[in-house]
Chain A
Amino acid sequence: MDKTIEDLHNLLKKGEVNSQELISESLKKSHEIQDKYNAFVTILDNAKETKVTDNLLSGIPFGIKDNYSTKDILSTGSSNSLKNYIPFFNATAVEKLLSVGAVPVNKTVLDEFGMGGTGTTGHTGIVKNPWDPTRMTAGSSAGSACAVAAGVYPYALGSDTGDSIRKPAAYCGIVGYKPTYGMISRFGLFPFASSLDTCGVLTRSVRDAAIVVDTMKGIDERDMTTWDSSNINLYKNITGDVKGKRLCYIKELCDINLYPNSNEELKLHLKNFMEKLETFKSLGIEIDEVSVDKKLLDALPSVYVAISCAEATSNMSNLTGIIFGPRGNGANVMEMMMDHRTKGFSPLIKRRFIIGSYILQKENQERYFKNAQRVRRLLVDTWKKLFERYDAVILPVGSGPAKHLDGSKDILTKDTAALEEHLQVGNFGGFPSITIPDGFVANLPVALNITGNCYDDENLLNIAYALESSMDYKNQIAKEVK
């Protein structure tokens, strides 16, 4: 299970291992990981082998984030409000993987309904980082990142509304890929913020990410935001040839001199990033420094909170405990719904709903919601201008390695740096965006991210593959360092 999808497929085809053996190994590892890091809501001990075909994913185990609907399998969104919910249908993305013989072996923990970035707010408890259990995995795709990094299987499904695939991938030393908005159907994915939500995958290599998304993607009449991507073949178009490609990084995010109170981890993280850029230049890639209005960057976290909370408030209004979910107590329907929602939602979720509701009130819409949407456009237009000259924007992920769990409040504070939140631009514009590990700080993995223009996923993954190949962090398995 520590191998790539291609390697596992070759072993299966040669008969050196069979699907049931891979599943058994993955399930055994799942239980070990669950005891140590609490990555799963459900482990599917009855998972059965499938026929190995020429499809690279056939017979190979994988994990599913617990906000994907899975037929006859508990799907909770890591929320008490859906702790007993069992869908009668599969999400389209899941269905596509099952149709080629991929084998789900567990459902992974997330921050409740995907609305957090720490991996600490799921109803089954905190997910710990497999490199250092005193640190967070980040979120919301916390269990998926933990399990892939720990070698339970080569890939797990994630979803990404702000950075929920790409940040946990960074903290766990693996690859996290969010394709262009609408490339993968979201039918059956529990909605959080519909103008930002994107399905994607966490893997240990860029090629594996390409293989999985090639299968997951496609137009779906049950998700009107999907588009025809049949002319895109991510895996076949990975060549590693990047001569003449152009990347840029943003001075206002990467210059250590702009962080007067920086700690050692931030300094080392940015130093490592700048050193890696020099390495990439030797591949024939041109890399420029560009400037972006700092005021715009500083507004980014609040714009995200305003838009995502407003959309979430609307999306979650059907969680009443009447038609599904545990019934609340009360003498009438209103009391029952209030009891269900009060007990079912964590403080984090309640906070988001209330802020969203306030923002959407008629008298507040102009000041908060519409201004947030206007700044969203300014940010997206800024990035699109960069894409006129560059293939992608390359930036460090976060302000260093995984943060300590005892500092995980997941509350927006005044000192929230744009450096921590810039990946949200990928969701604002629907841009394809991929995180790959780029080194170690304090013996823990750190990562960089590249984000390209919409529909340019093939180019983006090819560049990511070339960068990955020039470093030594491909297909790494987490080893506890503390």
Chain B
Amino acid sequence: MNNFTEELVDDLAAKLLIGLSKEENKMVLDEFIIIDDNLSKVANFPNINEIEPMTHTLDDFTFTLREDAINDSILIEDALRNCEKVEGREVEVPKVVGGDS
């Protein structure tokens, strides 16, 4: 049995910084019931726990570390060009410590 409830969905959404309508909450619950049902069957596969979880797509892939090299970094102006509020070379946000905003 899973403990996937309306309250839990709202709690998860809040942690993800996402607001949900009642309808959106219900969509999550409805879909999760199906996923939970199917994965419950999976949990009953013979010797499932003995199978190594597949974490990498290509089993034979070997990662090659390149030599350290000094490369040009991106321009601050480029990094900030999609930011709506900028002060000089920095991202502007409301005051985080002290004060009202």
- Bound together, the chains give a CA A358 to CA B12 distance in angstroms of 7
Pick the contact of B34: A85, A378, A413 (CB < 8 A).
A413
**Complex interface: chain B residues within 8 A of A200 (CB):** none
Q: A181-B57, A325-B82, A412-B35 are in contact. Are A367 and B43 (CB under 8 A)?
A: yes
**Complex interface: chain B residues within 8 A of A14 (CB):** none
Q: Check if A378 sits within 8 Å of B57, measured CB to CB.
A: no
A301 within 8 Å of B (CB atoms): yes
A177 within 8 Å of B (CB atoms): no
Instruction: Report the minimal beta-carbon distance from A90 to chain B, rounded to whole angstroms.
Output: 13
Residue ID in chain A nearest B94 by CB atoms = A332
Q: A371-B43, A430-B58 are in contact. List 5 more A-B contacts (CB 8 A).
A: A181-B58, A302-B34, A336-B94, A354-B16, A429-B57
A264 within 8 Å of B (CB atoms): no
Pick the contact of A357: B15, B23, B39, B58 (CB < 8 A).
B15
B78 within 8 Å of A (CB atoms): yes
Residue ID in chain B nearest A319 by CB atoms = B17
A227 within 8 Å of B (CB atoms): yes
**Complex interface: chain B residues within 8 A of A84 (CB):** 82
Q: Check if B18 sits within 8 Å of A324, measured CB to CB.
A: no
**Complex interface: chain A residues within 8 A of B74 (CB):** 88
- Contact string against A for B residues 39-73, beta-carbon threshold 8 Å, 1 for contact and 0 otherwise: 10111010011011111111011010010000000
Pairs of residues from A and B, 5 with the lowest C-beta to C-beta distance, nearest first: A373-B53, A342-B19, A302-B38, A324-B82, A377-B54
Interface residues of A in 331-382 (CB under 8 A from B): 331-334, 336-338, 341-342, 345, 347, 350-351, 353-355, 357-358, 367-368, 370-378, 380
- A residues neighboring B (CB under 8 Å): 84-86, 88, 181-182, 195-196, 221, 224-225, 227, 295, 298-299, 301-303, 305-306, 313, 320, 322-327, 330-334, 336-338, 341-342, 345, 347, 350-351, 353-355, 357-358, 367-368, 370-378, 380, 411-414, 416, 427-430, 454
- Bound together, the chains give a CA A63 to CA B23 distance in angstroms of 36
Q: Check if A323 sits within 8 Å of B45, measured CB to CB.
A: no
Q: A374-B51, A429-B57 are in contact. Are A338 and B20 (CB under 8 A)?
A: no
Interface residues on B, range: 35 or more
Instruction: Report the minimal beta-carbon distance from B91 to chain A, rounded to whole angstroms.
Output: 6
Q: Check if A326 sits within 8 Å of B17, measured CB to CB.
A: no
B31 within 8 Å of A (CB atoms): yes
Q: Check if B38 sits within 8 Å of A299, measured CB to CB.
A: yes
Q: Check if B57 sits within 8 Å of A331, measured CB to CB.
A: no
Q: Check if B18 sits within 8 Å of A338, measured CB to CB.
A: yes
Instruction: Report the minimal beta-carbon distance from B79 to chain A, rounded to whole angstroms.
Output: 8
Residue ID in chain B nearest A413 by CB atoms = B34
Pick the contact of B96: A313, A332, A355 (CB < 8 A).
A332
B87 within 8 Å of A (CB atoms): no
Q: Check if A306 sits within 8 Å of B34, measured CB to CB.
A: no
> Can you report 13 A-B residue pairs in the complex whose CB atoms are below 8 A from each other?
A181-B57, A196-B57, A221-B66, A323-B91, A330-B94, A332-B101, A338-B18, A350-B28, A351-B31, A357-B12, A371-B39, A374-B53, A411-B30
Q: Check if A377 sits within 8 Å of B51, measured CB to CB.
A: yes
Residue ID in chain A nearest B69 by CB atoms = A221
**Complex interface: chain A residues within 8 A of B60 (CB):** 454
Q: Check if B54 sits within 8 Å of A374, measured CB to CB.
A: yes
**Complex interface: chain B residues within 8 A of A181 (CB):** 57-58
Instruction: Report the minimal beta-carbon distance from B58 to chain A, rounded to whole angstroms.
Output: 5
Q: Check if A331 sits within 8 Å of B101, measured CB to CB.
A: yes
**Complex interface: chain A residues within 8 A of B63 (CB):** 224
Instruction: Report the minimal beta-carbon distance from B24 to chain A, rounded to whole angstroms.
Output: 5
**Complex interface: chain A residues within 8 A of B56 (CB):** 195
Instruction: Report the minimal beta-carbon distance from A313 to chain B, rounded to whole angstroms.
Output: 7
